[in-house]
Amino acid sequence: MKPTRLFASTRTAVGLLALIAAASTAGTFAPSLDVFRSAWFALLLILLALNLAVCTAQRTPALWKGIRSSGPSSRKEAAGRLGLYFIHGGVLVIIVGALIGAVSGFSGEMRIAEKESAGVFHAAPQGAARELGFSVRLDRFLVEHYSGGAPKTFRSDITFVRDGAVLGGGVLLVNHPVSFQGLRFFQASYGREAVAAELTADDGRRRAARRMAAGDKCFLPDGTSVRVLRIEEDLMRMGPAVKLQVESKEKEALFWVFQRIEELEEQYPDVSAAHPQFNPGLFKPWRLRLNGVEGRYYAGIQVARDPGAPWVAAGAVLMLAGLALLFFRIIVNGVHSSRSGKADFRPL
């Protein structure tokens, strides 16, 4: 068989479709296989694209003949053929666009806290940072809630800055991305992060108060050091808390201090005795107290560049136009020849 005949056969097309469907099924059940970014999956798509290209090319002369000839029945036939032509051409363009995107596109996430800037993004959660070439400043972050408390929408006001010069900006909302220099920015997620904790220490005679960020270390009047390991605005739904490492020459202790410790002790009596790591007086004689936690919003922003996207969009429009033509050919004009026993609509 000639190579073009082999590629143009329906058997090859259906076989390739079956392989792609089987590979996709495997991909959903075993995400670890990473089917959709593998080379062999791309190869299957390329083979399908070749099949489509050969089929479409072979169909062209007959299509022209059908369009040139007159008469209502052959015109209906031509509409159906044109429909099939568009559908297959559209799918071909979609695959080409997807491959362009896979080769030269990228996407990643950046996390920016309010009033801060970031100039890098991460393609994978733990992946290496990539430079944007400019930085994104989050000027303001807002969350709007329904009366019941569920989040309704959230927005980031962002500015693009390079070397201190403002290049542009925009308002980023869920479902409303912002484009800048060939990159598209999307509002993906948000959250809050604790910035600083207001702490006091008391040994009955002396009292020390400090505002500390995570990682900060300070010394109490007797030389005992206090280091803030973690700050949480809401730890396990028990309110603000800090994890401290308290150290003197003789001993060391690691424990959490909750802001609402009195409330918690009322709710769970003996909590400090049963769980020393939750006892604010663990490091005697000092008793530590958390007076407040200062937090701020951060925005999870997705950044993407996909040069294939316009191709995919054009292919989808072409395919839908073809489906519309086929719809009118088959449904509106009826399936007349099905009782003759032959296939009721032959593409060629």
Partner 1 sequence: MQSAANTTVFAWAAVIYFLSALIYIAAAPGKRENRLKTAAYSAWAGFALHTFALALRWIESYRMGIGHAPLSNFYESIVFLAWAGVLFSLVMERRSVGVPGVFILPAASLVMFYASFSSGIERGIQPLAPALRSNWLASHVISCLMGYASFAVACGLGVMLLAGERKIRAGGPSGKFMPDAARLDELIYCSLVVGFILLSIGIAAGSVWAHSAWGTYWSWDPKETWSLITWIVYAAALHLRLSRGWQGKRTAALAILGFISVLFTYLGVNFLPGLHSYLN
The residues binding partner 1 (CB under 8 A) are: 10, 13-14, 17-18, 20-21, 24-25, 27-29, 36, 98, 107, 146-148, 150-154, 174-177, 184, 186, 188, 302-304, 306, 309, 312-313, 316, 319-320, 323-324, 326-327, 330-331, 335, 338-339, 342-348
Question: Are 159 and 118 a contacting pair, CB within 8 Å?
Answer: no
Query: b/e map of 40-57 (b: 16 or more CB within 10 Å)?
Result: ebbebbebbbbbbbbbbe
Nearer to partner 1 (CB atom), residue 28 or residue 200: 28
Nearer to partner 1 (CB atom), residue 129 or residue 320: 320
Nearer to partner 1 (CB atom), residue 19 or residue 195: 19
Nearer to partner 1 (CB atom), residue 214 or residue 321: 321
**If you search the block for the tokens 């980031």, which residue do you land on?**
156
Rounded Cα distance between 213 and 197, Å, is 6
Nearer to partner 1 (CB atom), residue 91 or residue 194: 91
Nearer to partner 1 (CB atom), residue 13 or residue 49: 13
Question: Are 129 and 121 a contacting pair, CB within 8 Å?
Answer: yes
| Closest CB 53 distance from partner 1, rounded Å | 16
| Closest CB 184 distance from partner 1, rounded Å | 6
Rounded Cα distance between 56 and 8, Å, is 9
Spatial strand order of the sheet with 217-219 comes to: 217-219, 225-232, 241-247, 252-258
Rounded Cα distance between 289 and 286, Å, is 10
| Closest CB 265 distance from partner 1, rounded Å | 35
**If you search the block for the tokens 């542009």, which residue do you land on?**
168
Nearer to partner 1 (CB atom), residue 179 or residue 277: 179
Residues in a beta bridge with 296: 193
| Closest CB 318 distance from partner 1, rounded Å | 11
Among 206, 241, 212, residue whose Cα is nearest residue 228 = 212
Q: Which residues, 6+ apart, have CB-to-CB distance to 33 below 8 Å?
A: 26, 27
Question: Are 271 and 277 a contacting pair, CB within 8 Å?
Answer: no
| Closest CB 92 distance from partner 1, rounded Å | 14
| Closest CB 228 distance from partner 1, rounded Å | 33
Rounded Cα distance between 83 and 90, Å, is 10
Among 285, 279, 113, 291, residue whose Cα is nearest residue 212 = 291
Report angle CA 171, 131, 229 to the nearest 5 degrees: 85
**If you search the block for the tokens 């080379």, which residue do you land on?**
39
In the chain, the amino acid numbered 266 is: E
| Closest CB 290 distance from partner 1, rounded Å | 32
| Closest CB 296 distance from partner 1, rounded Å | 20
Nearer to partner 1 (CB atom), residue 84 or residue 231: 84
